[in-house]
Structure 1
Amino acid sequence: MTDSASRRVPRNVREKPAYQRLYADLRSELEEGRFADGARMPTEAELSERYGMSRQTVRRAFQDLVAEGLVYRVPGKGTFASNFLRHGHYVRSIGAIEDLQAFAGTEMELLQRIELRSEEEIARRLELPSKVVAALVLRRLYEDAPFGLTRVFLPPELGQRLAESEALPTKGPGTVIGALESFMPGSIAGANQVITAVPVPPDVAPQIEYGAGQPCLRAERTYFDAHGTPVELAVSFYNPDRYAYRLQMRRRAT
């Protein structure tokens, strides 16, 4: 980016990391229809030269676009625009545990701080010795519009450590499971997920700005550590007018 171009960029934008600025530029071009469905995107080398950024920075911006399902990669051929993008609609592409831990381009809003309470069925599923679990409620926003509400349940000791750390913002980027890893001896090794369509609960509908009783996407996800021990159970409800879930699958290597 030239000095003159840099001077025209507002200060608050310039202060963002380079990959986030590039991500925002490419996303705007996709929203504006500069790239049709299936159109080949500029290469890392081309973007690196155009913006004066390293190829590693360009690659990081592409990773966020891939995570949202806005572009997809074809090995040996390049990166291509998908047909999932429209204004106000968040697309999440899942292909690995790291994708589950990220909500690139969104913010979380803490609606209920971590508290300890008795939940016998949840405790059983988390394989806890007592009925006590740590619970919190958060809302997920995209372009300042809420599209999902999640109830999170944790083992009490992990919940207390998370609360004491203040690692979760009242409002801002991040995920609970991403914050939890810093308190764990190992990393998140796997997750089980069940997705169903259900009538949106009456208490959830206004929080995601969706009609009560209308069908919504319900995702229930349990995360495990390397020993197979559950470390988080999350139950989410999504407004289907604002959220799409894209699963990437590859043929098993022979």
Structure 2
Amino acid sequence: MVQDGLLPLYEQVRRKILSEIEAGRLAEGSFLPPELELCATYGVSRITLRRAVGELCAEGLLLRQQGRGTLVAPRKLQQTISLSGFSDVMEGQGHKAGHRIIEREDDADAPAIAARLVASRLVRFVRLLEMNDRPMTLEGLHFDAVRFAQALDPVAAGKSFFATLRSAYGIEPAGAERLIDVGFARSSEADLLGVSTTEPVYRIEKLVLDGDGRPLALSQTVTPCRLVTLSVKN
């Protein structure tokens, strides 16, 4: 290992590992070699290596998984908070979008949400939204099962709700009300998203409206902060 006397040893190792990540020699989702192998490669002690790896973990570039090792984190995706649905956003950036149904509740007992949607019969789908076959967002989607009866089977089959609105009803979203918060993943959420309960997540509630200001759907999503950088588009 070439040493620069102006930089601490751990910083030299950090930069070397970072260059391996940026060059693609350490691919997203791959695990780092064992500690002893890395120490031999860089000619440093375990303490120095752990400091370098710890710095990269703090930056969100590496992830420690208990009992498995340390892996290269997926690159952050810039996700625009717009009227577009998940599929539109992902496919617009060249990614494969997927909707895996976790739970369906046909007569959801959520009076406050039903009132906001003016829904005569509220349906709730819990979906795991996937990018390139990897979990990205956990979503609770609510809509009026009577008004949008033709959307029930497509959504249950893993199709986009908003794509179904366009094809079955000719409806396009025209506005939205949003609440954005940051918290920690609950245990049930963490299991589905493949994260720990100490990991920060974005919690976004979105009420989507049509051109007349009438509610179309309400979604409540949970997304690990390390996966996305949020931007807002009017």
> What is the TM-score when the length of structure 2 is the normalising length?
0.59
CA distance in 1, matches of 2:161, 2:75: 22
**1:229 aligned partner:** 214
Relative to structure 1, the CA distance from residue 107 to residue 32 in structure 2 (aligned partners, 3 Å threshold; closer, same or farther) is farther
What is the aligned counterpart of 1:89 among 75, 81, 91? Answer: 75
CA distance in 2, matches of 1:110, 1:247: 27
CA offset at residue 157 of structure 1?
A: 1.4
CA offset at residue 223 of structure 1?
A: 0.6
**1:4 aligned partner:** none
The answer to whether structure 1 residue 153 and structure 2 residue 139 are counterparts is no
CA distance in 1, matches of 2:223, 2:82: 21
CA distance in 1, matches of 2:86, 2:155: 18
Is the 8 Å Cα contact of residues 135 and 194 (structure 2) preserved in structure 1? Answer: yes
User: Residue 139 of structure 1 aligns to which amino acid in structure 2?
Assistant: L
CA distance in 2, matches of 1:90, 1:176: 25
Is the 8 Å Cα contact of residues 99 and 160 (structure 2) preserved in structure 1? Answer: yes
Relative to structure 1, the CA distance from residue 142 to residue 99 in structure 2 (aligned partners, 3 Å threshold; closer, same or farther) is closer
What is the aligned counterpart of 1:120 among 111, 127, 146? Answer: 111
User: Residue 121 of structure 1 aligns to which amino acid in structure 2?
Assistant: A
The answer to whether structure 1 residue 139 and structure 2 residue 125 are counterparts is no
> What is the TM-score when the length of structure 1 is the normalising length?
0.55
Is the 8 Å Cα contact of residues 158 and 180 (structure 1) preserved in structure 2? Answer: no
Q: Secondary structure at the match of 1:241?
A: coil
CA distance in 1, matches of 2:192, 2:107: 23
RMSD over aligned Cα, in angstroms?
2.8
Unaligned runs of 5+ in 2: 1-21, 25-71
CA distance in 1, matches of 2:205, 2:186: 15
Relative to structure 1, the CA distance from residue 182 to residue 247 in structure 2 (aligned partners, 3 Å threshold; closer, same or farther) is same
Give structure 1 regions of 4+ aligned residues with deviation exceeding 6 angstroms: none
The answer to whether structure 1 residue 194 and structure 2 residue 179 are counterparts is yes
Unaligned runs of 5+ in 1: 1-30, 34-85, 250-254
Relative to structure 1, the CA distance from residue 99 to residue 142 in structure 2 (aligned partners, 3 Å threshold; closer, same or farther) is closer
CA distance in 2, matches of 1:218, 1:159: 26
Q: Deviations over 1:179-203 (max 9, x none)?
A: 2233335322111221110222222
Is the 8 Å Cα contact of residues 83 and 175 (structure 2) preserved in structure 1? Answer: yes
CA offset at residue 100 of structure 1?
A: 6.1
CA offset at residue 225 of structure 1?
A: 0.9
**2:38 aligned partner:** none
CA distance in 2, matches of 1:154, 1:99: 14
CA distance in 2, matches of 1:212, 1:93: 23
Relative to structure 1, the CA distance from residue 155 to residue 99 in structure 2 (aligned partners, 3 Å threshold; closer, same or farther) is closer
Is the 8 Å Cα contact of residues 165 and 172 (structure 2) preserved in structure 1? Answer: no
Is the 8 Å Cα contact of residues 103 and 125 (structure 2) preserved in structure 1? Answer: yes
Relative to structure 1, the CA distance from residue 148 to residue 222 in structure 2 (aligned partners, 3 Å threshold; closer, same or farther) is same
